[in-house]
Each structure stands twice: as C-alpha cells, then as structure tokens.
Amino acid sequence: MTGIDMADELVWKRSTYSDSQGGACVEVAHLAHRTGVRDSKDKQLPALYVPHAAWQEFVRHTVAIFNDPR
C-alpha cells in the first residue's frame, strides 16, 4: 500500500477555520505514530506525515503566536 492509497483510508478532520466549500485550509488525520496533514482543496496531492510530537509542537507554537498581545 502506498502513502497515497493509505491517505484515502484515513479519517481526515477539516480545520474549523475552513470555509464552507473546504477551501484555504488543511485536513489532519491521526495515525499510530504520526499525524497526516493535507490540503483540503486538493486531496489528490500527497499528504505530509510528521511525528505526533512535531505536530503538537507546531500547534502549540501557532496558538502562542496568535495569542501574543503584541
């Protein structure tokens, strides 16, 4: 099974910031040891897979930036 085949079988969750047509955002799927991220507009493109710790750090850092009062 290739990565692209596997991506079709995962449960993908769209960002709550995505518009009603699914544009301008990403979808995320959680696997046993990594997190998949893909473009919500073009699901045929390859997904990016990163370790859970890397995804969690990315989310933590992004939230901190948007909550920074500067």
pTM of the model: 0.70
Q: For residue 24, give its domain range.
A: 3-67
DSSP string, 9-69: HS--EE-TTS-TT--S-EEEEE-SSEEEEEESS-TTSPPEEEEHHHHHHHHHHHHHHHH--
Per the structure, the count of domains in the chain is: 1
Residue 60 CA, chain-centre distance (Å), reads 14
On the question of pLDDT at 1 being above 90, the answer is no
* pLDDT given for residue 20 in this prediction: 65
